[in-house]
Amino acid sequence: MNPWRGLKEIPHNIWILAFATLINRSGTMVLPFLALYMAKDFGVSAGSAGLVLAFYGFGALFTAPIVGKLSDKLGALRVMKLSLVATGLMLFVYPFITNYYLILGYTVVWAVISEAFRPANLSLISTESEPSKRKISFALNRLAINLGMSIGPVVGGILTTIDFKLLFYVDGITSIAAGLFLMIAKFETHENLSSNEKLFLENWDAASNIGETENINPASSIKHQATIFKDKFFLFFLISLIPVNIVFFQHIGALPIYIVRDLGYSGAVFGFLSAINTVIIIFVEVPLNNAMAHWDDKKALALGAILCGIGFGLMAVWEKIYFIAFTIVIWTFGEMIFFPASTSFTSSISPENRRGEYMGYFQMTFSIALMFGPWFGTEILDLFGSKVLWTITFILSAVTVVMIYFFKKNEKTLQVKNSK
């Protein structure tokens, strides 16, 4: 049995989006090395370096719900094109800013523009995929992300040994290239939005009705909430994601500083360690999610969260580089299970005419974690040391598991309250 068979059934337009993501992510190297750039090139403390990432998360936090609504009303494809090109231009300017406080402000603006791509992309993927194919479509999207990320950080790590500023130029070029690709790509029939940016509203019903009785959670029948904050079912789910997301974002916050500053390895070593994560995802995530397609999303979420906690938590036990590589393998499996399941579950419980908005709020959980996670991790690393930090990551992941268990156990109660 071919574990990649599900890829054959993915729509043409999803492949276009995945290729654009691949182009963009192949040059993604600024964000993974931003904390190191601030700590080594600027000479600020780990906590101050983490604060820059916190400001990025702050900008991303307010972008997600706004862009979700814009995607529903104006056109996700247009949002994606503008985001990519504008992001590239902003990255060209970034290395010329020499004042720490100006960097904080500029980082917020960069985040607002850059993060506009994500919820728009998720919304378009949701719309262009049948409910039964959404999980594999999201897995393909993550495959494209990680195929690119297997290149970007490795090249970025090498470039750090030459000049940190090169990271910004290469990242900017690939971002603009991805935007140009979307401008010239030939989308099929109604999805060809370049001449009519009314978006895909006409396609909402057609894409959502296929197999919805089998795949859509009963909570999604609540389609006319005046505000998303009345959807207790969805809000509790979002809150449960935040602790493990905070853990995951240590891979761009505390982890690179821990490996380079505390353990004494080069940025290139960190880049190659990052590649372990992405290479595994490239070869394993799609067949893994295809094999787990019959799993209940909440069961997959719990398994993924605990694997993330074990992976990061084990770094408190031993500091050898090969052991750290082993822990990366563990939390990578958690990542491969957790994130496609969380995206699929969000799509399944969101009203079809507000899916972009729901995806925007779903993206907010990452933004909140990005705003607090790296800063929190780097501060703990500076104040209490690595063993305390990695122990806390295990505890946070366990909190998510407990919340998912409560969520699953009280699902019917939450749905009843939500319908009142």
> Tens of pLDDT along 154-190?
999 999 889 999 999 999 999 999 999 999 988 865 4
Number of H helices, E strands in the chain: 19, 0
Between 1.20.1250.20, 1.10.150.120, 3.40.50.10490, 3.40.50.10420, what CATH number should domain 11-203+230-419 receive?
A: 1.20.1250.20
Residue 258 gets which letter from DSSP? I
Q: What is the pLDDT of residues 293-314, one digit of tens each?
A: 888 888 899 999 999 999 999 9
CA distances from 382 to 78, 120, 173, 224, 262 (A): 43, 37, 35, 48, 10
DSSP state letters, 83-138 = HHHHHHHHHHHGGG---HHHHHHHHHHHHHHHTTHHHHHHHHHHHHS-GGGHHHHH
Say how many C-beta atoms besides its own lie within 10 A of residue 197's C-beta. 13
Average pLDDT taken over every residue of the chain: 83
- In tens digits, the chain (420 residues) has pLDDT values of 555 566 677 888 899 999 999 999 999 999 999 998 998 878 888 889 999 999 998 988 878 667 767 777 778 888 999 999 999 999 999 999 999 999 999 999 999 999 889 878 887 887 777 777 777 788 788 788 878 988 998 999 999 889 999 999 999 999 999 999 999 988 865 444 433 333 333 333 333 333 333 333 434 434 444 467 778 888 889 999 999 999 999 999 999 999 998 999 988 899 999 889 988 988 888 788 888 888 888 889 999 999 999 999 999 998 889 999 999 999 999 999 998 889 888 888 887 777 777 877 888 888 889 889 999 999 999 999 999 999 999 999 999 999 988 876 666 555 545 444
Alpha carbons 118 and 9: distance in angstroms, whole number: 23
Q: Are 128 and 191 in contact (CB under 8 A)?
A: yes
- What pTM was computed for the model? 0.75
Domain ranges of the chain: 11-203+230-419
Burial state string for 178-187 with b = 16 or more CB within 10 A and e = fewer than 16: bbbbbeebeb
Name residue, tokens 């290149």.
151
**410 CB contacts (<8 Å, ≥6 apart)?**
none
Q: Contact at 8 Å (CB) between 103 and 97? A: yes
Residues in the chain: 420
Q: Could you tell me the sign of the dihedral formed by the alpha carbons of 251, 255, 257, 259, in that order?
A: negative
